[in-house]
Amino acid sequence: DQQVKQNSPSLSVQEGRISILNCDYTNSMFDYFLWYKKYPAEGPTFLISISSIKDKNEDGRFTVFLNKSAKHLSLHIVPSQPGDSAVYFCAASAVYTGGFKTIFGAGTRLFVKA
Amino acid sequence: DAGVTQSPTHLIKTRGQQVTLRCSPISGHKSVSWYQQVLGQGPQFIFQYYEKEERGRGNFPDRFSARQFPNYSSELNVNALLLGDSALYLCASSDGLDTQYFGPGTRLTVL
């Protein structure tokens, strides 16, 4: 039962262009959505998050959009840089009394070509 | 400022054995979560601990257990290891509800 889905295993983008990574979820009870970046031999690194009550959050080159009616979120990276090449995980957190549970998607590998 | 640390880095065990993985959170963080990541998949939630109490549990068998100590460090124990337990085990700490900081992971190989 995959509650968080990243349907594109990989994405290739030219340096300087926009990278758009997509994510779909099935549970309307999620409170936060997050994006993590992972390099080989390292743990995931937090990138950006968005509360379920918002539809956009921006941090530098990274913007996350949330469409609750479609249960869809996306990460935009503008402009893309070769150092952005990594695996990107979408995650969703459900908060409950005293704790939380985070579900990750399978990841999208981004290649940024110089 | 030290990030999340995990030990050991790599571990090789045989089927049926038991393993203990360790995690030290970022100073000041009271919540620790454990995840299992197999090749080609995202991290799968195992446990979340806050203030030494289990606050969340994923869909893992009872062979998996964990605990959190007064200094907020944590251990993950897996009994009766199966080949399918081979994975990268990630620990994450947080001081809030929306952001977790991950350690480098422990690579467990079960032969």
Alpha-carbon distance values, A45 to A87, A91, B70, B81, B90 (Å)? 10, 12, 26, 29, 12
Residue of higher predicted confidence among A97 and B107:
B107
Across A7-21, A37-51, A88-102, least confident range:
A88-102
Over residues A4-11, mean pLDDT: 95
Instruction: Kindly determine whether residue B98 and residue A49, on different chains, have CB atoms separated by under 8 Å.
Output: yes
pLDDT confidence band for A2 (50 / 70 / 90): confident
Decide: A65 and A73 in contact? Cβ < 8 Å. yes
- Per residue in B41-96, pLDDT (tens digit) is 999 999 999 988 998 889 999 999 999 999 999 999 999 999 999 999 999 999 87
Question: Which pair of tokens denotes residue B104?
Answer: 């480098």
**Residue A40 pLDDT level (bands cut at 50, 70, 90):** confident
The CA distance from A69 to the nearest CA of chain B, in Å, is: 21
| pLDDT above 90 (res A55) | yes
Q: What local confidence, expressed as pLDDT, does residue A99 receive?
A: 80
Chain B CB within 8 Å of residue A105 CB: yes
- Provide the chain B residues 82-101 that lie in CB contact (below 8 A) with chain A: 90, 92, 97-101
* Alpha-carbon separation of residue B94 from A18, B3, B84, B107 (angstroms): 31, 11, 28, 22
